[in-house]
Amino acid sequence: MSAIAGIRLVTNYSSGSPATQQPEANQPAFVGGHAALVITATSYPTTTKLQFVPRSGVAIDIVTITTNGVYILDLPSGQYQLFMNAGTATAMYADLVTVPYS
């Protein structure tokens, strides 16, 4: 499995129904390590979570997002997605990128 140092999870995403957003098409796995989830939206659903999806396919919650920001995390290499439920997402943008240790 090839991996890259940054993935775009959503670009200008808006929805009023529950949804799971996988990375934009044809992106390889995220390389992992020290990382930043950079996310902004005009409005957030009641539940917005970054999830790790291991080979089993059963998503594991990593962090719950409540506001615009940069969330610093240490992550394993693999596939990630955003889970949104109960509410409306408007103009959401989210990227997951590696951050060098200093």
Identify the burial level of 54 via C-beta atoms within 10 angstroms of its C-beta, where 0-12 means exposed, 13-18 middle and 19 or more buried.
exposed
pLDDT (average), residues 17-42: 78
Given a contact cutoff of 8 angstroms between Cβ atoms, the answer to whether 19 and 10 are in contact is no
Q: Where are the domains of the chain?
A: 3-98
Multiple choice CATH, 3-98, 2.40.50, 2.60.120, 3.30.420, 2.60.40: 2.60.120
d(CA 80, CA 6): 11
Higher pLDDT, 40 or 85: 40
pLDDT tens readout for residues 31-67: 899 999 999 989 888 788 999 988 888 999 999 998 8
Considering the entire predicted model, what is its pTM? 0.82
Q: At residue 18, does pLDDT exceed 90? A: no
d(CA 40, CA 28): 23
Position 75 confidence tier, pLDDT thresholds 50, 70, 90: very high
